[in-house]
Chain A
Amino acid sequence: GDSVTQMEGPVTLSEEAFLTINCTYTATGYPSLFWYVQYPGEGLQLLLKATKADDKGSNKGFEATYRKETTSFHLEKGSVQVSDSAVYFCALSEGAGNKLTFGGGTRVLVKP
């Protein structure tokens, strides 16, 4: 079945540092890929998505590129802020409907 593997946290960074969170997936077909973010005390929010190979999703300074050859969708941000402290989830969706398969989540803590 489908699966998503992402790097375990927590990841602790200083403000303005570069952030990378690795995500790889296993799927039988051609899934859509997503990054969701969960800020403290809040629900999950869609951060960005990509629906086909070589697509780049971007939002709020975050980027991720759909790499079919390496089955990866790594999340990057060039300069993080304290407000980026959250748990980040990589996910995929395949087939009809809205069934998401999530990775285990990566907690990111940005210190001033």
Chain B
Amino acid sequence: KAGVTQTPRYLIKTRGQQVTLSCSPISGHRSVSWYQQTPGQGLQFLFEYFSETQRNKGNFPGRFSGRQFSNSRSEMNVSTLELGDSALYLCASSLDSANSPLHFGNGTRLTVT
């Protein structure tokens, strides 16, 4: 069974640009969550989607947005990039049944210059 796939693995962007990251969940998983990992702030929750609807949202500015498609694949978008957006962005999927664990992808490493 294929795991959570995130593309691309690495990305370099310039301040002010926008970026789109993609996540393909494990087959059958309908919940997809996104996290930002930085050395200073650690792992922080961005948002969660379930059946194409945003179910939970973290404390990030509106420049961070996401969506989920009918096949459960998800994308997150960051507009007007800032240097502080440099991070490892992790996607996780889940069956969303009681006690089902999150399965994380290997992440997309975004560098903003």
Residues of A within 8 A of B (CB): 32, 34, 36, 42-46, 49, 51, 89, 91, 96-105
Contacts and interface: CB of A to CB of B under 8 A. Distances in A.
> Nearest 6 A-B pairs (CB), nearest first?
A102-B43, A44-B104, A43-B104, A46-B101, A99-B56, A43-B106
Interface of B: 4, 31, 33, 35, 42-45, 48, 50, 55-56, 58, 90, 92, 94, 96, 99, 101-107
16 contacts: A42-B106, A43-B105, A43-B106, A44-B90, A46-B101, A46-B102, A49-B101, A96-B56, A97-B56, A98-B31, A98-B56, A98-B102, A100-B43, A102-B44, A104-B42, A105-B43
Given A43-B106, A104-B42, A98 B90 contact: no
Pick the most buried of B35, B55, B102: most chain A CB atoms within 10 A of its CB: B102
Contacts of B102: 44, 46, 98, 100
A92 B38 CA distance: 19
Contact of B42 (A32, A42, A103): A103
Interface class of chain A by DSSP: strand
A27 B106 CA distance: 29
Given A43-B106, A98-B94, 20 more contacts: A32-B99, A34-B101, A36-B104, A43-B4, A43-B107, A44-B102, A46-B101, A46-B102, A46-B103, A96-B55, A97-B31, A97-B48, A98-B33, A98-B56, A99-B58, A100-B43, A101-B45, A102-B35, A104-B42, A105-B42
A96 B98 CA distance: 10
Contacts of B45: 99-101
A36 B37 CA distance: 14
Contacts of A104: 42
